[in-house]
Structure 1
């Protein structure tokens, strides 16, 4: 009886998105699209407009080093060239760029008022990198359950320095958390399955890409629009300056809250290992590896599901034409530069090992990081795993052949170089 009940519960937890190709919009989705289209004339993707809006919003004027302006201009041009971007996408990106510019103004302002911030050492951080959709988020969340480490929750990632109206009070202990919660609930209402595939709740531990984006770089907007112009610009420019800005943001956050033993992550680090190592030479580097097809399959489904809101029309040729090639570029850079990282500071984590038994991997990470792993801390980590186990909110069905008319073997073909370098198990046939 118990077994039958468990099987029924498991079946009821399966989410099969059957309208990927021809979305059936909910009333909420229709309303959001209509509102964005009606406000389309107000979206002006020009650097001066964006920076002016940030200055008006903050009352500040100094953006710091001006090299970011060229990158912002490329962002705007690349987004404007995306002819299939919906009004929702354009509105979201416009508001995001104003937010990032406002954050930059506040970062520069607090550093100007407290120059000692730049003397704060970011000592021996633990840095997780790996393929998108390869377990990096789960691993980051697990390590962040150790309260001796400093991590970056979503509410803080999107508003690192509080605005004057975001200072805690007796009526509102954390206005930044409340704003993040409102945004999260809005996302859940519009794209409920996206909320399962990639969580953005206020306390969810975020990628440090949000801090790199304050310097108007990273591969962030590639996930939000079809922007080959930006991809090519980003890949052809040294990212050391943006990684230095990431460190600057961590120094500000440490000044505001502390302590300074950080655990951070971003899949993008896989293709920026030299810049990452130059910026954080004493870090513990945790690189996760997975069959690229498993990761690409997840990304294709996520992209196409979100396309009902973010694209004017749904076309599976878009993600198929972009993401497998993008993954190849990322992994070729990883294979090329992997040995830049000191072996005594680095661990390669394999997805197939992680899902079978994470404990030995966790213990090795703590050994390399020279952090005692006490029984009490291990119990906290186990409690996190139990609470945040895979598929707690639902298991998304990923079907390459049905949804994208391609097989795992066809997608895997270009990645032989990766399997030659790392002993990754084939996951998707």
Structure 2
């Protein structure tokens, strides 16, 4: 059920991060993209998942208090009447918008991040975005670029940040919808460990200095309320809150290499670029963003706390992640592949249906089967080298006896697990409330268990 590579066999490779500046990029190719150095390429307890093996209709977008078609129609009328400007999803326009927000214009070297921004905006032109999709895309990309400006200014003005440790992080590795959020939030109940809060990821690098008053939490809460009013299905699929432990996809968004964009928009060219570039500079920047996040917390941040990190994208970037975090300890989750993919495609459809005028479930099925196979292969190949300690964790075992699995995990981490911490975890699960029904149907996405098993079978 679980296995580990002993720490004594672990090899370490220096990530080579230049701590005197923002994360360095190597020389790009003509497109600005560095070649890949290797071909290796909410709560889930609230996800009472029901798998239906056959489909008779396309998946439906669940309407909310605010009608999505009516909202899109209203936005279109405002644009047509010249009462509101239509978003311009071009690199120069987005960069200029970010500069106006922050008041500085020093983005630094136009390395991979700029090439990826150009690739993403080019792909968005063919993503068939709805009016609300265009607004969300402009807001997210402007926010990521503004955070990039602010992070660079903070890093240059406060060189001591480079010395803040991100020591022996606990990295949760697993496919999307494989139980990673449940494990992350259980570990977040332990006050001896650190974690990223949703508002810190959705609205990264919110100020220029530590402050007790952080308005990002309130902004994230309002954003969540608006999302629920338009898209209540999101609450069923991924229950969360502004201050809840959540994944660091927003920090990766600042690097412009983030699967959060792939989940929302049909951008396959951008997805392939993120899979094939050298991701080591991406994770060097990611580490710097974590250090800035820790610094912005001020006295509330205990620098010696191990940070629990979780993004499904880590699986496809595992080789690069381990170069930047060579002392990482991996918790690797596995769940039945057909069930995992059915739940994943349902989530992606939910996100795309909110932001696109036309969503193809069959395309989503094929694209995310590719993503699952890629991530599964990379994880398998990287772990087979024997250079990193890891613990394999089964989703069903967590369902059966989460306490027993947590004791296994803490034994692997060599951290005591006292009764009061277990009590905090149990209280957290109790507060999570009733299990929601997330219905999904594999056949709606042109998939069946046999096809999935064949695609995921080791070569």
TM-score range, shorter chain: 0.7 to 0.9
The residue number in structure 1 matching 2:183 is 139
Q: Tell me how far apart the structure 2 counterparts of residues 166 and 57 of structure 1 sit (CA, whole Å).
A: 19
> Could you tell me which of 256, 259, 278 is aligned with 2:302?
259
Extract unaligned runs of 5+ from structure 2. 1-45, 80-84
Q: Give the 4+ runs in structure 1 shifted more than 6 A.
A: 13-19
The residue number in structure 2 matching 1:177 is 217
Three-state SS of the structure 2 residue aligned to 1:397 is strand
Using the TM superposition, give the Cα deviation of residue 298 of structure 1 relative to its aligned residue in structure 2, in angstroms: 0.7
Q: Tell me how far apart the structure 2 counterparts of residues 334 and 164 of structure 1 sit (CA, whole Å).
A: 37
Moved more, 356-365 or 244-253: 356-365
Where relative contact order (Cα < 8 A, 6+ residues apart) is larger, the structure is 2
**What does the per-residue CA deviation read over 1:13-35, in whole Å, with 9 as the maximum and x for residues that have no partner?**
99999985465755532332224
**What does the per-residue CA deviation read over 1:66-96, in whole Å, with 9 as the maximum and x for residues that have no partner?**
21211111111111122x3322222211110
Using the TM superposition, give the Cα deviation of residue 365 of structure 1 relative to its aligned residue in structure 2, in angstroms: 2.2
Q: Tell me how far apart the structure 2 counterparts of residues 181 and 15 of structure 1 sit (CA, whole Å).
A: 31
Q: Tell me how far apart the structure 1 counterparts of residues 363 and 330 of structure 2 sit (CA, whole Å).
A: 33
Extract unaligned runs of 5+ from structure 1. 1-9, 419-429
Using the TM superposition, give the Cα deviation of residue 314 of structure 1 relative to its aligned residue in structure 2, in angstroms: 3.9
Q: Tell me how far apart the structure 1 counterparts of residues 219 and 174 of structure 2 sit (CA, whole Å).
A: 30
Q: Tell me how far apart the structure 1 counterparts of residues 416 and 274 of structure 2 sit (CA, whole Å).
A: 39
Q: How does 1:21-170 map to 2 (within 5 A)?
A: 21=59, 25=63, 27-38=66-77, 42-67=86-111, 68-82=113-127, 84-163=128-207, 168=212
> Could you tell me which of 269, 272, 279 is aligned with 2:317?
272
> Which has the larger helix fraction?
1
Q: How does 1:373-392 map to 2 (within 5 A)?
A: 373-388=417-432, 392=434
**What does the per-residue CA deviation read over 1:195-221, in whole Å, with 9 as the maximum and x for residues that have no partner?**
220234202212122111111113221
Change (3 A) 1:295 1:43: same
Using the TM superposition, give the Cα deviation of residue 408 of structure 1 relative to its aligned residue in structure 2, in angstroms: 2.5
Change (3 A) 1:18 1:203: farther
Three-state SS of the structure 1 residue aligned to 2:309 is strand
Check the 8 A contact 1:74/1:230 in 2, yes or no.
Answer: yes
Check the 8 A contact 1:167/1:175 in 2, yes or no.
Answer: no
- Alignment of 1:396 with 2:438, yes or no, is yes
Change (3 A) 1:356 1:407: same
Three-state SS of the structure 1 residue aligned to 2:139 is helix
Three-state SS of the structure 1 residue aligned to 2:333 is strand
TM-score (norm 2): 0.80
The residue number in structure 2 matching 1:209 is 249
**What does the per-residue CA deviation read over 1:114-147, in whole Å, with 9 as the maximum and x for residues that have no partner?**
1110111211111111000000011001101111
Check the 8 A contact 1:284/1:368 in 2, yes or no.
Answer: no
Change (3 A) 1:19 1:88: farther
Q: Tell me how far apart the structure 1 counterparts of residues 345 and 122 of structure 2 sit (CA, whole Å).
A: 25
Q: Tell me how far apart the structure 2 counterparts of residues 130 and 319 of structure 1 sit (CA, whole Å).
A: 19
Using the TM superposition, give the Cα deviation of residue 370 of structure 1 relative to its aligned residue in structure 2, in angstroms: 2.6
Using the TM superposition, give the Cα deviation of residue 315 of structure 1 relative to its aligned residue in structure 2, in angstroms: 3.0
> Could you tell me which of 223, 226, 235 is aligned with 2:275?
235
**What does the per-residue CA deviation read over 1:234-274, in whole Å, with 9 as the maximum and x for residues that have no partner?**
11111000101110011111222222321111111111221
Three-state SS of the structure 2 residue aligned to 1:66 is coil
Change (3 A) 1:200 1:19: farther
Check the 8 A contact 1:286/1:349 in 2, yes or no.
Answer: yes
Q: Tell me how far apart the structure 2 counterparts of residues 65 and 207 of structure 1 sit (CA, whole Å).
A: 27
Three-state SS of the structure 2 residue aligned to 1:398 is strand
Across the aligned residues of Structure 1 and Structure 2, the Cα RMSD in angstroms comes to: 2.8
The residue number in structure 1 matching 2:376 is 331
Moved more, 375-384 or 301-310: 301-310
Check the 8 A contact 1:58/1:163 in 2, yes or no.
Answer: no
Moved more, 98-107 or 268-277: 268-277
Q: How many residues align?
A: 399
Q: Tell me how far apart the structure 2 counterparts of residues 85 and 65 of structure 1 sit (CA, whole Å).
A: 30
